[in-house]
Structure 1
């Protein structure tokens, strides 16, 4: 019997994951907010479902989304969100609906949950969020792991790059504040997808994992280089008062060992494309 899986929030990352999951034999469903976008998923062999986190949900709609072997929950809050309590409430309500199913849940979270911790950060480091997004993701993570402790896993991502997506594009030509000596924590979409596949195929539930490239260059050096490679105007950086402060260094060695993975993109210098 085919393994059924829903990408709840099948945006940029989910659409790049379609082909790898289909190649492994998964039967896929995906949600988008607009019908036209859901139709595009259907054109790629995915059962497209219209779904908005903050709209009223119907029972048949929830059944189509949740009545699967695995749910990959990847609904970002959006950059302009102001009502964080609403986001938390609706995400937790969606998780609650999984109680009456046998569905396994993989929640795509963020390393923003570690806040401003300095130095090496492992999967066992405490959550110390300082941003509204980080705080919201911690609340959702805690609710998920309390509600479905043996059939859910959290995967925290550092800065996400991939085809036609690189943070250097938004920094090009800008004056960038903060410490230029802070290290870069990036992860390529191809490695995220390989990790998601490993979690689902190995049934690795009940854990909190995170991902970042294993090399962490200084951000002033890296983004200057990246803009040069892209042929874009260079950013400028402040001279930091404490140039020795390196910020967070996301170490994902435990995750890689647990999933028996080697990164395809271990250095940010391979992520330009």
Structure 2
């Protein structure tokens, strides 16, 4: 099947959104995106990106609404996030392919492998917002969005060696990590667009799950930073299953081994 060039809107040209937009442009697609300030917008325009200033809760520019594919990448924040997101979703159309970038924080630490059916309504440990409630806004408004749940993101510009470097007495040394490289975040989104997937929930996570101590010690050393020190206290965990992403999208992870992926940063 020949790939048809698309008109794509990326809501949130942050670390992921900007890299994603540039890749779609390389592929020949027409891309527009949003940032939260005019200063950021001017910088994006200087880099060749068609950009609009947008804050969640505002009315979307019609140029962004009129698209084949809309990809939402803005991280959740603020007490009124769910209400603002609902206002945003009301502006969308069921004629678009909508992709909502979500998080594997929808899964509790069950001390086992978790898949797309294990999501629960719980506050995110990072924001206090229920990510599952955010996901559910789309079907409630009649939008068959594909929900892409990413594990911890890393890659150029987001070096995991800095995350825990120099810290001490960190618990959970032997818990497995769930991570995904930027290249695979982009690869999965492109595969969803290419395969015209709608209404699915899909995990994005690398194949292997080294321990927290193994990964972050190596990451810090490769970054030339002081390795973190871990305590003997254990913590609950989960292992995110990526089988559906590989089978539904016929996708092969570029960085299936996150330890080897550290060399690409």
- Does TM-score exceed 0.5, indicating one fold? yes
Query: How many angstroms apart in 2 are the aligned matches of 1:127 and 1:166?
Result: 30
**Aligned residue number for residue 141 of structure 1:** 135
Residue of structure 2 aligned with 1:26, choices 29, 45, 49:
29
Deviation at 1:154, TM superposition (A): 0.3
Deviation at 1:74, TM superposition (A): 0.9
Deviation at 1:254, TM superposition (A): 1.3
Please list, as runs of the form range in 1=range in 2, the aligned pairs for 1:1-273 lying within 5 A after superposition.
2-54=5-57, 57-58=58-59, 61-77=60-76, 81=77, 83-84=78-79, 86-99=80-93, 102-131=95-124, 133=127, 135-149=129-143, 151-240=144-233, 242=234, 247-272=237-262, 273=265
Distance 1:212 1:2, change over 3 A: closer
Contact 2:113 2:241 (8 Å CA) reproduced: yes
Q: TM-score, normalised by structure 1?
A: 0.88
Query: How many angstroms apart in 2 are the aligned matches of 1:174 and 1:27?
Result: 44
Deviation at 1:123, TM superposition (A): 1.8
Contact 1:116 1:129 (8 Å CA) reproduced: no
Query: How many angstroms apart in 2 are the aligned matches of 1:176 and 1:103?
Result: 48
Question: After alignment, is 36-45 or 188-197 more displaced?
Answer: 36-45
Runs of 4+ in 1 over 4 A off after TM superposition: none
Aligned pairs, how many? Answer: 259
Q: Deviations over 1:117-140 (max 9, x none)?
A: 221011222325343646432111
Q: Which runs of 5+ in 2 are unaligned?
A: none
Q: Which runs of 5+ in 1 are unaligned?
A: none
Q: TM-score, normalised by structure 2?
A: 0.91
Deviation at 1:271, TM superposition (A): 2.5
Question: After alignment, is 186-195 or 39-48 more displaced?
Answer: 39-48
Query: How many angstroms apart in 1 are the aligned matches of 2:207 and 2:250?
Result: 15
Contact 1:30 1:41 (8 Å CA) reproduced: no
Query: How many angstroms apart in 1 are the aligned matches of 2:13 and 2:257?
Result: 27
Structure with more of its chain in helix, by fraction: 1
Query: How many angstroms apart in 2 are the aligned matches of 1:42 and 1:236?
Result: 43
